[in-house]
Amino acid sequence: MRAETVSALTEAGIVHAFPIQELTLPLALARNDIIGQARTGTGKTLAFGVPVVQTVLAAKEGADGRPQALVVVPTRELCVQVTADVTRAGARRGLRVLSVYGGRAYEPQLSALRAGVDIVVGTPGRLLDLARQHVLDLAGVGTLVLDEADEMLDLGFLPDVERIMSQLPTERQTMLFSATMPGPVISLARRFMKRPVHVRAEQPDEGRTVPTTRQHVFRAHALDKMEVLARVLQAGGRGLAMVFVRTRRTADKVAEDLAKRGFAAAAVHGDLGQGQREQALRAFRSGKVDVLVATDVAARGIDINGVTHVVNYQCPEDENVYLHRIGRTGRAGESGVAITFVDWDDLPRWTLVNKALALPFDGPVETYSTSPHLYEALGIPAGAKGTLPHAARTRAGLAAEDIEDLGQSGRGGRRGSRTGRDQDRSEPAAVPTRTRARRRTRGGGAAAAGAGLAIAADPADPADPVDEDGRKAGAPVVDGAGQTGLVEFTGTAPLTDTDTDTDTDTARVVSALASETGVEAEELPRRRRRRRGNRGRGTGTMREAGDGTEADADAGAPPRAESA
């Protein structure tokens, strides 16, 4: 190995190799294709990172600026982490390592590619976009690494990976690393790899879980889970803790609930913008936040020092998800604690997981927040309650970590985030009002016209000139004492759906006999209201004088007209 690489790793505190590294390094340095399989948290990143750093040339060593090595990873968080590890290993040689993933602006990545890079680490989608734009030149790639290949399969990235591999030179070294090897991944390896060496850094009789991780499984009720979780997070010796859930909505809910109980908690899931996701991870790594609530997007390959407890708040879907979740603790030989909550509805799913991994938790113990065995198993203080004591609230919190401006595109924030809700409260949306004038007859217009009643035109209508009082010019209007008059509807009030017969437009009705008809006031047809139960506004009807008891009873009374 190069002396610069050894000194860079020594400076980072990496002195001894893990089994997967001991088996892989000689084969990788000899330019063999490799399939590396090992439990999560056993050093797979440097198993391919060191050979990559060894083989590429730096700018001062004659590199032409085209990428010489390509590392494909499934998630953005893993992309950032792998970039940091590879950069650390090649720091003494000045290797140019670029991370390429979605959520960030294109311009900085385009500028870096045009300036020249030696190693590119990226997610499949953004790599394909840059390759289609002919900005990412893959013709000079001599080493390809596929990290967490089974996760790429689960996320549906294998077709994109195949398109990327088809653009690479045929003469290259390919290394594929993963914790599990499902059938499609093996088929991919057979198609694109040449006589690969399968390296498995574990004994045949070893379990698939890390031996240094203590596992606990409790049957918890859905309504009591949060109380149990609040007590688990007060266990003795707890450092950083990760809480895994299945949905984005649950991640937000659990993080907000923990924050109300006094814990420094943050959420990481796919509805957050990339800046917010990186803010939460930075705060978690630095200790400003000590509880990270995450969906499975953060379970793959994320290596954060100091994680002592992992809680499966919701039961994992299968054994592979379970392995990757609890693999966030007990890494690199450290000890850890993994706790799984199994609801009554999750028992069939957990039975399959337990059987596949040969775990001794066939029947999880029914557990509540007051169960003595919960306190004993996890070392929870006897007086622990559902809220964190004020004396223990020493973390700065998520607000103490700045959000980096990434110039990101696409979704910029969480769905239903607190910030958005506060903005909605402080700036209520203006309700549009309707100001147009309306004239309504409600089916009585024809009858009114036949009886000598006329509906005045809209004062704003230029076809009917009006005076300053809104009356049609030259049209006499008098009160309802039997004189000639007009029926007028004026007003601009907005419509509302009520059960009143007043047609929300302010109605002013002046009715009288038309002088030319010669009809007496007592014989004037009049309108009356009639409702149709509760189905909406009633409709006015015209009823001839004398056709009913009510009309005859009112004969001789002053004539009146009612709005329809």
Does 546 or 436 have the greater pLDDT score? Answer: 436
The CATH number given to whatever domain includes residue 179 is 3.40.50.300
CA distance 454 to 448: 7
Q: With 90 as the cut, is the pLDDT of residue 209 above it?
A: no
Return the DSSP state at 499. S
Whether residues 383 and 519 share a domain: the answer is: no
**pLDDT of 268:** 92
Residue 223 binned pLDDT confidence (cut-offs 50, 70, 90): very high
127 within some domain: yes
Percent of the chain, pLDDT > 70? 69
72 bridge partner residues: 122, 146
Q: Are residues 408 and 517 in the same domain?
A: no
pLDDT of residue 452: 47
The answer on pLDDT for 412 being more than 70 is no
pLDDT band at 402 (very low <50, low <70, confident <90, very high): confident
Tell me if 208 is assigned to some domain: no
The total of other beta-carbon atoms located within 10 Å of residue 515's CB is: 12
Q: What is the pLDDT of residues 249-280, one digit of tens each?
A: 999 999 999 999 999 999 999 888 888 988 99
Give me the mean pLDDT over the 297-323 stretch: 85
**Domain final residue, candidates 401, 422, 443:** 422
Residue type, 520: E
Q: Which residue has the higher pLDDT, 41 or 88?
A: 88
- Asked if the model's pLDDT at residue 23 lies above 80, the reply is yes
Residue 518: pLDDT band with limits 50, 70, 90? very low
Average pLDDT for 326-333: 83
User: So what's the pLDDT on residue 301?
Assistant: 61
Kindly state whether residue 324 falls inside one of the protein's structural domains.
yes
Same domain, yes or no, for 172 and 218? no
For 276, phi then psi, to 5°, come to: -70, -35
pTM exceeds 0.95, yes or no: no
Is the same domain home to 194 and 217? no
Query: 205 lies in a domain?
Result: no
Q: pLDDT value at position 186?
A: 86
Domain range for 390 is 213-422
- Across 57-61, 128-132, 541-545, least confident range: 541-545
Between residues 339 and 180, the one the model is more confident about: 339
CA distance 266 to 51: 36
pLDDT value of position 553: 41
Per the listing, tokens 């077709």 go with 159
**Residue 408 reports pLDDT greater than 80:** no
| Residue 319, token pair as written in the block | 């054994």
For residues 280 and 242, the answer to whether their CB atoms sit within 8 Å is: no
446 and 385 in a common domain: no
Res 507 pLDDT > 50: no
The pLDDT mean for the chain works out to 78
Residue 183: its pLDDT value, please? 84
- N-term to C-term CA, the chain: 95
Per-range mean pLDDT, top range of 1-10, 180-189, 205-214, 498-507: 1-10
Q: How confident is the model at residue 422 (pLDDT cuts 50, 70, 90)?
A: very low
E strand segments, 270-370: 291-294, 307-312, 336-342, 365-367
Q: Are residues 185 and 220 in the same domain?
A: no
Note the pLDDT of residue 298. Answer: 61
Domain limit, last residue, from 200, 224, 254: 200
Give φ, ψ of 525 to 5 degrees: -65, 145
Please give the sequence-ordered ranges of beta strands (E in DSSP) within 197-288, or none if there are none: 197-200, 213-220, 240-244, 265-268
Whether 125 contacts 102, CB under 8 Å: yes
Give tens-digit pLDDT for 108-124: 999 999 999 999 999 99
Last residue of a domain, one of 373, 391, 422: 422
* Stretch among 10-24, 145-159, 189-203, 543-557 having the lowest mean pLDDT: 543-557
Query: Cα dist. 423→187, 413, 420, 426 in Å?
Result: 51, 13, 5, 5
161-171: pLDDT as tens digits = 999 999 999 99
Inside any domain, residue 427: no
Task: Look at residue 154 and tell me whether its pLDDT is greater than 70.
Answer: yes
**96 vs 94: CA distance, rounded Å:** 6
Same domain for 184 and 324?
no
**192, 315: one domain:** no
Residue 206 lies in a domain: no
Q: What is the mean pLDDT of residues 82-93?
A: 92
Report CA torsion sign: 53, 58, 62, 65. Answer: positive
Q: What is the pLDDT of residue 440?
A: 57
Nearest in space to 357 (alpha carbons), one of 220, 245, 210: 210
Q: Is the dihedral of CA 332, 334, 335, 337 positive or negative?
A: negative
Instruction: State the pLDDT confidence band at 386, using cuts at 50, 70 and 90.
Output: very high
Domain membership flag for residue 290: yes
- Domain count across the chain: 3
216 three-class SS = strand
Q: Do 364 and 351 form a contact (C-beta atoms < 8 A)? A: no
Q: What is the pLDDT of residue 148?
A: 86
One domain for residues 177 and 223: no
Does residue 169 sit in the same domain as residue 138? yes
Exposure b/e, 263-284, CB count within 10 A at least 16 = b: bbbbbbbebbbbbbbbbbbbbb
127 and 177 fall within a common domain: yes
Same domain as 40, residue 158 = yes
What pLDDT shows up at residue 314?
Answer: 95
Determine, yes or no, domain membership for 428: no
Window from 204-213, 228-237, 274-283, 437-446 with minimum mean pLDDT: 437-446
Q: What are residue 145's DSSP bridge partners?
A: 71, 175
pLDDT above 90: residue 484:
no
Among 130-139, 215-224, 502-511, the range scoring the smallest mean pLDDT is: 502-511
Mean pLDDT, range 294-322, rounded to an integer = 86
